[in-house]
Amino acid sequence: MITPPARQHAIIRTLLLVLLLPFGSHVSAACQKTFSVGWLDWKPYQVWDNDRVKGMDIELLDAVMHQAGCNYVLKNVPWERSMRYIKTGDLDLALGTSKTLERSEWAYFSEAYRREIMAIFVRSNEYTKWNAAQEFEQLADLKPRVMVLRGAYYGSTWSQIKDRFFVHQLNRYEQLIQMLSAQRTDVVLTDLYNGRVLAKELGLENEITTLDWNASDDDIYMMFSKKTVNLSDIDIINRAILELRQSGDLDAIIQRYQ
């Protein structure tokens, strides 16, 4: 579904760019296309609120696209499906993605625009038991049940060792926290800030905590379909990311959510 507010926002932004230009000027850095961008309910990064899509990633996307002079429309697409759509060209851009060799076969990646901590969530009354391990090798020896989001990436270390664990994959972030509370799993791997927000919303902030070490702490990128996006447009967007990073504007947005 393309959200009407996002389409209106893109049109209004284009008109403002034209009106603000001196007479006879043109937008020399504008992208050649309007990007279809996938979003999903993933607090605090992407969330539907008061008939519009908000969140950290949406603010970062809007800042970058405004700086680049590029337009976009938002499409509500589940995470695993968005990966397929980037591969087939049914979606131009996905937010909040990790760069992997497998994905690089069918996708381009922007400059990094933020970082992501994949934390290890456990029940608070079992914190001491699981925190006795300080790395995945040690945790595997304790034989916990683990739940993750289907299609998500949890870092190179996890990718190499995950077969040593009993892992169950779910389709929605909130299910991970709910299953941990219900003792259907022992360990959940998920984004640190997403997990904290969901635990608070579910009234579980005192029941659920994180281990002292993380699954990963990696750069996060915009991912583009090789089927539909050309490198010249990505260059424009990359310049915008670097300019906003240097000015501190990206960090200012990120800090409001942490």
pLDDT in tens, 110-161: 999 999 999 999 999 999 999 999 999 999 999 999 999 999 999 999 999 9
- pTM, two decimals, is 0.83
In this predicted structure, the answer to whether residue 23 has a pLDDT above a threshold of 50 is no
Q: What is the residue-averaged pLDDT of the chain?
A: 90
Average pLDDT of the residues in 232-236: 97
Question: In this structure, are residues 136 and 116 in contact, taking their beta carbons and an 8 Å threshold?
Answer: no
Is CATH 3.60.20.40 the classification given to domain 4-114+219-255? no
How much is the pLDDT for 60? 98
Question: In this structure, are residues 254 and 60 in contact, taking their beta carbons and an 8 Å threshold?
Answer: yes
- In tens, the pLDDT along 25-75 reads 333 448 999 999 999 999 999 999 989 999 999 999 999 999 999 999 999
How much is the pLDDT for 17? 37
Cis peptide leading into residue 44 (ω within 30°): yes
Domain with CATH 3.40.190.10 in the chain: 4-114+219-255, 116-217
Tokens of 200: 């608070």
Distance CA 226, CA 81 (A): 16
H-only helix segments in the chain? 4-20, 56-68, 79-88, 101-104, 127-131, 136-141, 156-161, 173-181, 192-201, 231-247, 249-255
Instruction: Burial-class residue 106 by CB neighbours within 10 Å (0-12, 13-18, 19+).
Output: middle
Distance CA 95, CA 100 (A): 14
How much is the pLDDT for 258? 83
Q: What percent of the chain has pLDDT over 70?
A: 89
Indicate the residue type of 201: E
In this predicted structure, the answer to whether residue 10 has a pLDDT above a threshold of 50 is no
How much is the pLDDT for 48? 93
Distance CA 153, CA 190 (A): 9
Instruction: Map residue 31 onto helix, strand or coil.
Output: coil
In this predicted structure, the answer to whether residue 162 has a pLDDT above a threshold of 60 is yes
In this predicted structure, the answer to whether residue 18 has a pLDDT above a threshold of 90 is no
How much is the pLDDT for 30? 83
Nearest-5° angle of CA 232, CA 222, CA 17?
60
Select from 44, 61, 78 the least CA-distant residue to 6.
61
Average pLDDT of the residues in 207-214: 98
Question: In this structure, are residues 2 and 92 in contact, taking their beta carbons and an 8 Å threshold?
Answer: no
How much is the pLDDT for 63? 98
How much is the pLDDT for 255? 95
Question: In this structure, are residues 109 and 100 in contact, taking their beta carbons and an 8 Å threshold?
Answer: no
H-only helix segments in 97-172? 101-104, 127-131, 136-141, 156-161
Distance CA 115, CA 150 (A): 20
Residue 5 binned pLDDT confidence (cut-offs 50, 70, 90): very low
In this predicted structure, the answer to whether residue 106 has a pLDDT above a threshold of 70 is yes
- In tens, the pLDDT along 183-202 reads 999 999 999 999 999 999 99
In this predicted structure, the answer to whether residue 13 has a pLDDT above a threshold of 80 is no
Instruction: Map residue 39 onto helix, strand or coil.
Output: strand
Question: In this structure, are residues 73 and 8 in contact, taking their beta carbons and an 8 Å threshold?
Answer: no
Q: What percent of the chain has pLDDT over 90?
A: 87
Q: How many CB atoms lie within 10 A of CB 172?
A: 16
Q: Please give the CATH number for the structural domain made up of 116-217.
A: 3.40.190.10
Distance CA 227, CA 224 (A): 9
How much is the pLDDT for 103? 97
